[in-house]
Amino acid sequence: MCLGIPGRVVETFSTHDVRMGKVSFEGVSKRVCLEHVPEAVVGDYVLVHVGFALAKIDEKEAKQVFAFLDDMKLLDELDERGSLEP
Amino acid sequence: MKYLDEYRDPEAAKQLLAAIARTVTRPWTIMEVCGGQTHTIVRHGVDRLLPPAVELVHGPGCPVCVTSLEMIDRAHAIAVRPEVIFTSFGDMLRVPGSSGDLLQLKSEGADVRIVYSPLDAVELAAANPDRQIVFFAIGFETTAPANAMAVWTAKKRGLSNFSVLVSHVLVAPSMTGILQAPSNRVQGFLGPGHVCTVMGHTEYEPIAARYHVPIVVTGFEPVDMLEGILLTVRQLEEGRAEVENAYRRVVNRHGNMAAKRLLEEVFEVCDRKWRGIGTIPKSGFKLRYDYRQFDAQHRFDVGRIETRESDDCISGQILKGLKKPTDCRAFGGRCTPLSPLGATMVSSEGACAAYYAYGRHLEPIPLRLSKADRSALDAKEAT
């Protein structure tokens, strides 16, 4: 549950005064709240938990962690977006 | 060594295992708190690569598992209301309440939807002003900032049709609860890496000092876990009891200050009932008074909820590190992930579900050794 998935910030914007971003997880792109990692800019890697960036991490670490999670088959939540429909 | 060749860095793992074997001189019991770490340990057989003197026991750190049956029944009672769109992380959908689970309610016509993030539930509220959007806000401190942000944003945007059913749990008070029990066996902890990413690790320092237990903040990969175990064993052997950080590449001592400020703004600490364990004082978050209009428990009166747990289930003792899944008569027979009897089988991060997923219910029952037998055996192995 306390899974942190690393992704790369590809865009930043503001919605209702909250700093948001588009973060790419090896091709799957998600809207992520960047409010609490103000130092993260486009091109940086962040550790994301349920759509919320918790920390900035370096690229090497990000790639290794992503490969590990993929191997553990723990990336299912990235697909849980089509289910917003009833 | 059947698992070691699957490690990302088998050489590092081998060296850490050798260092642990060199360091340990007597039996130690270490608890990993986080359910994600339990999953890694069982999947990669970390516990079986360690010298027999080092025993890993599995802690209460799976929020899906420890969400109380009352709260799940309450969620179900809210979810079936016609005006409600009930949103939740996918993990909660198959957790059985007193009768059925959310997925079953959905198949019977309730509007239940999986969201990736609580912020998606807020957007759903903005898009459906004529419906009530309820989000099931479970989780440890890792998840709390996201859930707090959802409530904070909804308030700011004046979304009066959004609410959260809060069942947040906190790690540090659960560790204190385990240590205070007279039957406690835990001598050292692997601290939860991502909880500490948010909270830092200062709150563990008084626990380490007061109960004289080492607490080592640890990451999630097998090599991370071996490193955390080595540092814990080193402290135990040297008689030290400190908080150490073996996950420095992500965690700093004070955590994410901005996220902590948001938690302080939206939540306050409360007593919380844990499935399998019971009520632990000051072990949860609830919404502050200023945010009570977003509290689903406040908004929807579902009456009194009566629940009953299985008499056979020993999940309470497993969550406290007193028993292993294989000690349970029902494990793998009457209790499986498809029809779980209790907390530790309801989510893949629960110790019982992890043992089941990796086939440990199919193995012969291990020989139970007394402490004296075990020490004798260890001494024999060492020669």
Least confident of A6-10, B156-160, B269-273, B343-347: B343-347
Nearest CA in chain A to B34: A2
For domain B1-315, give the fold. Answer: Rossmann fold (3.40.50)
What band does A75 get if pLDDT is binned at 50, 70 and 90?
confident
pLDDT of residue B189: 98
Q: What is the ipTM of this complex?
A: 0.90
Nearest CA in chain B to A5: B194
Average pLDDT, chain B: 93
Answer whether A4 sits within 8 Å of B64, measured CB to CB: no
CB B282 within 8 A of CB B240: no
Least confident of A21-25, A76-80, B272-276: A76-80
Domain-wise residue ranges, chain B: 1-315, 316-362
pLDDT of residue B1: 43
What band does A84 get if pLDDT is binned at 50, 70 and 90?
very low
CATH 3.40.640.10 assigned to domain A5-77? The reply is no
Q: Evaluate if residue B162 carries a pLDDT over 60.
A: yes
Enumerate residues 6+ apart whose C-beta is below 8 A from B5. none
Per-residue pLDDT tens digits for B313-355: 999 899 999 999 999 999 999 999 998 998 999 998 899 999 9
Sheet of B243-245: strand order equals B54-61, B28-34, B188-192, B215-218, B243-245
Between A79 and B196, residue with greater pLDDT: B196
Domain-wise residue ranges, chain A: 5-77
Q: Evaluate if residue B260 carries a pLDDT over 90.
A: yes
* Composition of chain B by helix, strand, coil, percent to 5: 45, 20, 35
Q: Which helix (H) or strand (E) holds A13?
A: strand A5-15
**A76: chain B residues, CB-CB within 8 Å:** 90
Answer whether A1 sits within 8 Å of B349, measured CB to CB: yes
Per-residue pLDDT tens digits for B63-102: 999 999 999 999 999 999 999 999 999 989 989 888 889 9
